[in-house]
Amino acid sequence: MSATAAAPQGQTKHAKKHWTREEVLDLFELPMNDLLFLSHSVHRSHFDVNHVQLSTLLSIKTGGCPEDCQYCPQSAHFETPVEATKLMSIEPVLEAARAAKAAGATRFCMGAAWRSPKARDMERVCDMIKEVKAMGLETCATLGMVDEQQAKTLKEAGLDYYNHNLDSSEEFYKEIITTRTYEDRLQTLKNVADAGMNVCCGGIVGMGEQRHHRADFLCTLANLSTPPHSVPINMLVQVAGTPLSGREALDVFEFVRMVAIARIMMPSSYVRLSAGREQMSDEMQAMCFFAGANSIFYGDELLTTSNPQTEKDRALFSRLGLTTDREMENHSHSAGEDEKSHCHVGCKH
């Protein structure tokens, strides 16, 4: 199949395409250069390709989770190095948010190792959201399943984004998690969208899934009535004690293909390089940015595992000529509207 034949038919900013597994597998089969040309072209026509959005994570409630997600060091089902803690108090969360803002992040994401939030925890989480938002940061939370009322409450507190991952295809999901269903996850995504929050939804690759599972997973995301605003693509971080520790690592080019195809299928979404960046070379990350990734988790820690140091990331942005929101902000304060474009090959964004 040629790159032209693979171009998503009728996919413009205005028409929504329904994707099939076969079409996505055809994209996976493309020669790498054709795939990257296609995904980069889609990226370039929807975004400033030299800009990366930065989100910082904080685990506000760590470990002891009743769910049995086989990849997760926070599940109470497995013996891992993670120590369970209670929900944090508000002040240290705000301190972490201030530090994230000072380091250049624009979004602060609070994660909790819960199946779903308990009524008694909602008030404190809502206070955290209000205060973080008042600092001028975008707010994001990932707290497990939420019902309609909880979603409304979080929205009213000022939550901008809710992260809830489908993680893989419906078929493969059953091999990874038994304590909840794919349908449960889809219901939460609906509750979040109905409450008016932006959906952040992605998954993990490198769990031993096959290419057709990755294709089905991307179809589910792209075929949602509104594709997710942000799509985190995590490379499995193998943590000792979790059942998935010891799985054969995914080929790096298969990961790049995944990013490129997510970009093609969800042209207006932010595709986020997520867990696993510490195990990626600078060159691999550069390839992912070219393929269409335009967001990262930024900060020395993810939830319980480490992430590249902020200085290392800033050095990489500088070497690649990538801008972040901080430079955009500084630039727009010192330059007129006409000078704002960061695209250096003639197109304006």
- The neighbouring-strand residues paired with 53 are 295
- Contact between 65 and ligand SF4 by CB under 6 A: the answer reads yes
Applying CB under 6 A, the span of 39-47, 70-78, 116-124, 282-290 interacting with ligand SF4 comes to: 70-78
Number of Cβ within 10 Å of residue 128's Cβ equals 26
Annotated catalytic residues are 65, 69, 72, 109, 140, 200, 272
Task: Tell me how far, at minimum, the Cβ of 67 lies from ligand SF4, in Å.
Answer: 4
Among 144, 203, 227, 276, binds ligand SF4 (CB under 6 A): 144
- Contact between 173 and ligand SAM by CB under 6 A: the answer reads no
Residue 10 φ then ψ, to 5°: 65, 15
- Contact between 63 and ligand DTB by CB under 6 A: the answer reads no
Is 270:295 a contact under the CB 8 Å cutoff? yes
Is 278:308 a contact under the CB 8 Å cutoff? yes
**Of the candidates 130, 120, 109, 56, the residue with the CA atom closest to the CA atom of residue 86:** 120
- Contact between 237 and ligand DTB by CB under 6 A: the answer reads yes
In the list ligand SAM, ligand DTB, ligand SF4, none, the entry touching 266 (Cβ below 5 to 8 angstroms by class) is: none
Among 126, 275, 288, 296, binds ligand DTB (CB under 6 A): 275
Site for ligand SAM in 299-328 (CB under 6 A): 303
Site string for ligand SAM, 265-304 (x = CB under 6 A): ----------x---------------------------x-
Distance of CA 233 to the CA centre of its chain: 6
DSSP 59-86: EEE-S-BS---TT-TTBTTS--SPPP-P
Alpha carbon of 201 to those of 110, 114, 165, 327: distances in Å? 15, 17, 5, 27
Q: State the residue for tokens 């959201």.
A: 129
Q: Which residues have C-beta within 8 Å of that of residue 346, sequence separation ≥ 6?
A: none
Among 6, 239, 291, 316, binds ligand SAM (CB under 6 A): 239
**Of the candidates 195, 269, 189, 191, the residue with the CA atom closest to the CA atom of residue 230:** 269
Q: First vs last Cα of the chain: how many Å apart?
A: 31
Side-chain half-sphere CA neighbours of 33 within 13 A: 0
Applying CB under 6 A, the span of 39-47, 121-129, 209-217, 302-310 interacting with ligand DTB comes to: 302-310
- Round to whole Å and give the CA distance between 87 and 150: 17
In the list ligand SAM, ligand SF4, ligand DTB, none, the entry touching 75 (Cβ below 5 to 8 angstroms by class) is: ligand SF4
Of residues 39 and 168, the one with the C-beta less far from ligand SF4: 168
Of residues 67 and 131, the one with the C-beta less far from ligand SF4: 67
- The neighbouring-strand residues paired with 253 are none
Is 68:179 a contact under the CB 8 Å cutoff? yes
- Contact between 75 and ligand SF4 by CB under 6 A: the answer reads yes
Site for ligand DTB in 176-215 (CB under 6 A): 202
Of residues 223 and 279, the one with the C-beta less far from ligand DTB: 279
Residues that bind ligand SAM (CB under 6 A): 71-72, 74, 111, 113-114, 142, 144, 164-165, 167, 204, 234, 236-237, 239, 275, 303
Site of interaction with ligand SF4 (CB under 6 A): 65, 67, 69, 72, 74-75, 113, 115, 144
By CB under 6 A, name the binding residues for ligand DTB.
57, 73, 111, 142, 163, 165, 202, 232, 234, 237, 274-275, 302-305
